[in-house]
Amino acid sequence: MKKQPLLLLILLSLATLFTAACGDSSSSVPQFTALTFISNRTVTPATPLFWSKLDGSAVTAVPFSSNNVYYPSISADGTMVAFYSGSDAWVQKIDGTGALNLTTTTASASEINFVRISPNGKLVMYSEDNDDHIHVIKVDGTGDLDLTPTFPTGMNDCYSGSFNASSTLITFVCEGATNWGIYTVKPDGTATTTVTGTRTMWTDLASFTPDGKKIIFVGGTETGNDIESVNIDGSSDTVLIPVSYEAIVLNSTLYYTFNDTTLELNQVYKAGLDGSNPVSISDGLHDDYLALSD
């Protein structure tokens, strides 16, 4: 009888270890609390960079000294932002303090083409003109790593992407002479995997769904761009949102920019991961866009 509580304790401990090994998404994956966007809202001091809650409320300016800002992104806890400005990659706290030009900490970087911070706020991925490769760098400016020292087969330019929710995997897109491709790689540069390398139209801004089973991206069409999804094995390419040129997945929601021709304004929308139930989170008075492409 005295051994029974000890046995129960051992069994509970083993169950806890098993759960952790299987990946408890509720405890191991951070949940986003905010998103960043660019807007023509008037604030003092002037800045085009803003953040809001995920429903579009509590819009707040992010101080920065330049109006030339693109590719903004935010850490899951809402404390750090990364963005492009003046051909460089920058990172800073959400209150505008601690701004660091990451480009000046690297030996090879030239004009930056894309910037994205990891959900855990520890890494920034970027692409740049000097080598057309995807890089990651720590937010303190150290540890710059080329993730694509050798291009995937048939590709000659890799230029955008994102982290998965746990910051343990990156998806990125590349362009070749006639095809575009979507790939995944670990942040340490290992385990590069092809999702698809045979797309024949423009491909950009790949993002993981939370379960990692699909990639959502912007795909070119004969008349413009739309938002599509593809299974991680490259099958079942599906159009989710027509006529949109930029999108990002935060938690279990798809955020994208839509040009409202009635308002004559860009507006930020949210929808389900299948494109269902789209609704604007902008105020209908200002030009708001995610600015994930230039």
Contacts of range 254-260, beta carbons closer than 8 Å, 24 or more positions apart: 254/216, 254/227, 255/35, 255/281, 255/290, 256/227, 256/290, 257/288, 257/289, 257/290, 260/284
4 pLDDT higher than 80: no
**What amino acid is encoded at 101 in this protein?**
N
Q: CA 73, CA 248: separation in Å to the nearest integer?
A: 10
Q: What strands lie across the sheet with 180-185, from one edge to the other?
A: 155-163, 170-176, 180-185, 193-199
Q: CA 69, CA 67: separation in Å to the nearest integer?
A: 6
Tens of pLDDT, residues 174-230 = 999 999 999 999 999 999 999 999 999 999 999 999 999 999 999 998 888 999 999
Contacts of range 175-181, beta carbons closer than 8 Å, 24 or more positions apart: 175/203, 179/154, 179/155, 181/152, 181/154, 181/155
Q: CA 22, CA 262: separation in Å to the nearest integer?
A: 49
Domain ranges of the chain: 30-289
Cis peptide before 45 (omega within 30 of 0): yes
245 pLDDT higher than 60: yes
CB neighbours (10 Å) of residue 133?
20
Query: φ and ψ at 226, to 5 degrees?
Result: -140, 175
Q: pTM to 2 decimals?
A: 0.89
17 pLDDT higher than 60: no
Across the chain, what does the average pLDDT equal?
90
* C-alpha of 177 from chain center: 26
Q: Which residues contact 262 (CB under 8 A, 6 or more apart)?
A: none
Closest by CA position to 162, among listed 179, 187, 130, 197? 187
SS3 18: helix
Q: What is the DSSP string of 49-110?
A: EEEEETTS-S-EE---S-S--EEEEE-TTSSEEEEEETTEEEEEETTS-S-EESGGGSSS--
Alpha helices in the chain (DSSP H): 4-22, 25-28
- 197's torsion region: left (phi>0), alpha (psi -120 to 50) or beta? alpha
pLDDT category of residue 104 using cuts at 50, 70 and 90 = confident
Check if CATH label 3.40.50.1000 holds for domain 30-289: no
Which range has the worst mean pLDDT, 2-11, 16-25, 134-143, 219-228? Answer: 16-25
Tens of pLDDT, residues 53-102 = 999 999 999 999 888 999 999 999 999 999 999 889 999 999 999 999 99
